Amino acid sequence: MSSTNINIRQPELWTLQLALEQRSINYMLYTDAQENSLITGSIDLDNSVGDYLKSLENAVYDNPLLLDDYKQVRVLVGSQHFVVVPPECDDFDAQDLLEVTFPDCDGDVAVCDLKRCGVKLAFEVPTGVLAFLQRTFNTPPVFHHLHPLCEHYKRLNEGSEISRMFLNFSPNHMDMVVYRKGEIVLANGYDYRSAQDAAFFALHAWDSLNLDRLADEVQLTGSKEERDAIAPILREYIGFVMPAIYPAAAMRIGQNAMKAPFDLIMLALCES
C-alpha cells in the first residue's frame, strides 16, 4: 500500500511499527480505538543515493505518513551481526562481546532486552541510524528482528516438556529459534540458496542440540512457498514438522493480519 494514499486521523491514538531492511522499510499502523484498523505497507529504499543512512533518511522524509505524532513508535532492525548475551551483562559488556565476535563490525551497537527469555541481544546497526531514529521518532525502542519471534514463542512454550524448533521464512532467509523445555537455547538467522541448504542448517542445529527426532517438533512460519519447499525434506528426518498456528490475538489487530509482515505482528503481540 502506498503511504501517499493514507490519511491517519488522530495519530496520537495509533502505534507505528517499522522494520528496517537493506532495501526497504516495512511499516505497520494500528489502534485499539478503531475496529479492524491495521494498515501495512512497504517503502523501497534508493540505495543509489549514497550510504544506507542517506537512503533511509530520504525514504522517511519523503513519506509524511511516517512522521505523524503517533502514540508510540517501535522499530525492528534486520542485522546479521548479533550476539545473545546473559542478562547480567550491562550494555557495555554486550557491546564488547559483539565486537569480539564480529571484529569487522564498523557500525553502531544497540542492545535490546528479551525479558521473557531472560537474555539480551546486542546487534550492529549501520552508522548514524540509531541517532537518526532517536531524533526523528522521539527515542523509540529499537529491537533486533529476532526479538519478537523469540519473545512470542517463549510465552507459548512456558512449562513445555517438548523441545521445539521454530523456523520463520522469508525469501532466501531463515530465522531459527529453539526452546528446550520452555527455555531458549538457540536464536540465529541463515541466508540460503536452496531448500536443501536451509534444511541442512536446520538439521545440523537439531543434531547439535541433541533434539529427539521422534518426540520433539519443528514448527514453520513465514513465506508459504519457502515452507512448502523445505517441509518435505525435514519430514524425512524428523517426525513432527508442521505449520505453526497463527496467533488468534493477531486477528484482533486487523482482519488482514495474516498479510502483514510476521515480525511486526509478533512485535505488536509481544508489546501489548
The one-digit pLDDT tens for each residue of the chain (272 residues) are: 445 567 788 999 999 999 999 999 999 999 988 888 899 999 999 988 879 999 999 999 999 999 999 999 999 999 999 999 988 888 889 889 999 999 998 899 999 999 999 999 999 999 999 999 999 998 999 999 999 999 999 998 988 899 999 999 988 999 999 999 899 999 999 999 999 999 999 999 999 999 999 999 999 998 899 999 999 999 999 999 999 988 888 888 888 888 888 999 999 998 76
In the three-class reduction of DSSP (H, G, I as helix; E, B as strand; rest coil), residue 150 is classed as: helix
User: Residue 1's pLDDT is what?
Assistant: 47
Task: Please state whether beta strands 24-30 and 15-20 pair in parallel, antiparallel, or not at all (unpaired).
Answer: antiparallel
- pTM value is 0.91
Sign of the four-CA dihedral 134, 2, 268, 36: positive
| Contact between residue 227 and residue 220 where contact means Cβ atoms under 8 Å apart | yes
Exposure string for 29-65, b = 16+ CB within 10 A, e = fewer: bbbeeeeebbbbbebebeeeeeebbebbbebbeebeb
User: Residue 36's pLDDT is what?
Assistant: 85
Task: Please state whether beta strands 39-44 and 24-30 pair in parallel, antiparallel, or not at all (unpaired).
Answer: antiparallel
User: Residue 3's pLDDT is what?
Assistant: 56
Dihedral of the alpha carbons of 31, 32, 38, 42, in degrees to the nearest 10: 30
> What's the CA gap between 268 and 265, in Å, rounded?
5
| Contact between residue 105 and residue 99 where contact means Cβ atoms under 8 Å apart | yes
Sign of the four-CA dihedral 132, 146, 40, 229: positive
| Contact between residue 54 and residue 111 where contact means Cβ atoms under 8 Å apart | no
Residues ≥6 apart with Cβ < 8 Å to 194: none
> What's the CA gap between 23 and 57, in Å, rounded?
13
